[in-house]
């Protein structure tokens, strides 16, 4: 069985353009946090015919670094893996300064409709008003001089998440779908664990092997790592089912069992992740829920 091992050994060289391969370079934004690791990776694609994947957060220093790195070259497109603001926040300003169009997978949208009185806890992190100049679809080929990108639908972290495989190379830009430093945050209704699983399977079946994520360093054995992520999530489902076989439990009680050491912002993320797993298991009919004086309780659905 594939063992999941995170890798946090990464030097971001924040604000400096770092060459990864011919026609591929990385510029890391200065927005380090528990959710963004060392900052958002902005990728430069091509040479004279240039595109940027994920311009990053609305940060003045990063905008200046992007403009400096572009130099006198023509920026043909600003491409987004998805519309969380740490990836898309600078898209409008960079477009205004360069006249480059913004391409991504359609306006930000929820993975499912909100339920009665439900709160989307990621609402403020989402770029709701950003409109694409071109909506990218599965299988589209984007050409920038000698380099071509193939669009791959990797919904899950959010509904409009895309990855971009470099045609004829081992490289694929995976955004927040697959990262080496941590597993992707899935927060319903913004994201969907069922979609996340389906998108992991999609990547595992494709030929691209070296993953370039939205945060952190390159994942050299990407397909093997994606399989380990899937196994990790399936084990988490198993932990929840095992706990519920013993007794009815609320989400808070499950949180104490599954994530006993998580505190502060990590606990907030754990709560969102647990909710996504519970929703996934409910939708599959593996667990049931009921209302009690203790709130919503969960049980294995025999």
- In this prediction, residue 294 carries a pLDDT of 73
Domain range 18-231, CATH architecture: 4-Layer Sandwich (3.60)
Domain chopping of the chain, boundaries = 18-231, 232-300
**What pLDDT does 263 receive?**
84
Distance CA 214, CA 237 (A): 26
pLDDT tens across 118-127, in order? Answer: 999 999 999 9
DSSP 8-state assignment for residue 2: P
Going by pLDDT thresholds of 50, 70 and 90, the confidence category of residue 68 is very high
Phi, psi values for residue 23, rounded to 5°: 70, 15
Partners of 91 in beta bridges:
none
String of b and e for 135-153 (b: at least 16 CB within 10 Å)?
A: ebeeebebebeebbbbbbb
β-strands 134-135, 102-104: how paired? Answer: parallel
CATH class given for the domain over 232-300: mainly alpha
DSSP assignment, residue 51? E
Compute the distance between CA of residue 173 and CA of residue 159 in angstroms, rounded to an integer.
17
| Structure confidence by residue, pLDDT tens digits, 140-192 | 999 999 999 999 999 999 999 999 999 999 999 999 999 999 999 999 999 99
Whether 18-231 shares its CATH topology with 232-300 is answered no
pLDDT exceeds 80 at position 17: yes
- Whether 110 shows a pLDDT value over 90: the answer reads yes
H or E element, residue 166: strand 162-166
């Amino acid at each position: 069985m594939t063992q999941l091992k995170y890798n946090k050994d990464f030097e971001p060289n924040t604000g400096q353009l770092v060459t990864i391969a011919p026609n591929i370079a990385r510029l890391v934004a200065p927005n380090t946090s528990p959710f963004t690791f060392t900052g958002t990776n902005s990728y430069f694609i091509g040479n004279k015919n240039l595109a940027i994947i994920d311009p990053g957060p609305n940060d003045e220093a990063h905008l200046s670094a992007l403009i400096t790195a572009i130099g006198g070259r023509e920026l043909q497109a600003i491409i987004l893996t998805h519309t969380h603001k740490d990836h898309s926040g600078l898209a409008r300003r960079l477009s205004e300064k360069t006249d480059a169009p913004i391409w991504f997978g359609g306006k930000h949208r929820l993975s499912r409709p909100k339920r009665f009185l439900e709160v989307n806890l990621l609402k403020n992190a989402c770029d709701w008003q950003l409109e694409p100049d071109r909506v990218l679809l599965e299988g589209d080929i984007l050409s920038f001089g000698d380099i071509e990108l193939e669009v791959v639908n990797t919904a899950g972290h959010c509904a409009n998440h895309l990855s971009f495989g470099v045609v004829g190379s081992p490289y694929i830009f995976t955004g927040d779908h697959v990262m080496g430093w941590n597993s992707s945050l899935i927060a319903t209704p913004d994201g969907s664990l069922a979609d996340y699983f389906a998108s992991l399977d999609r990547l595992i079946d494709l030929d691209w092997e070296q993953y370039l994520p939205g945060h952190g360093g390159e994942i050299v054995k990407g397909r093997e790592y994606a399989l380990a992520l899937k196994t990790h999530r399936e084990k988490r489902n198993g932990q929840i089912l095992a706990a519920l076989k013993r007794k009815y439990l609320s989400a808070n009680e499950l949180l104490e069992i599954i994530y006993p050491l998580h505190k502060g912002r990590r606990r907030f993320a754990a709560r969102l992740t647990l909710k996504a797993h519970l929703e996934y298991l409910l939708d599959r009919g593996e667990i049931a829920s009921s209302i009690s004086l203790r709130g919503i309780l969960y049980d294995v659905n025999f």
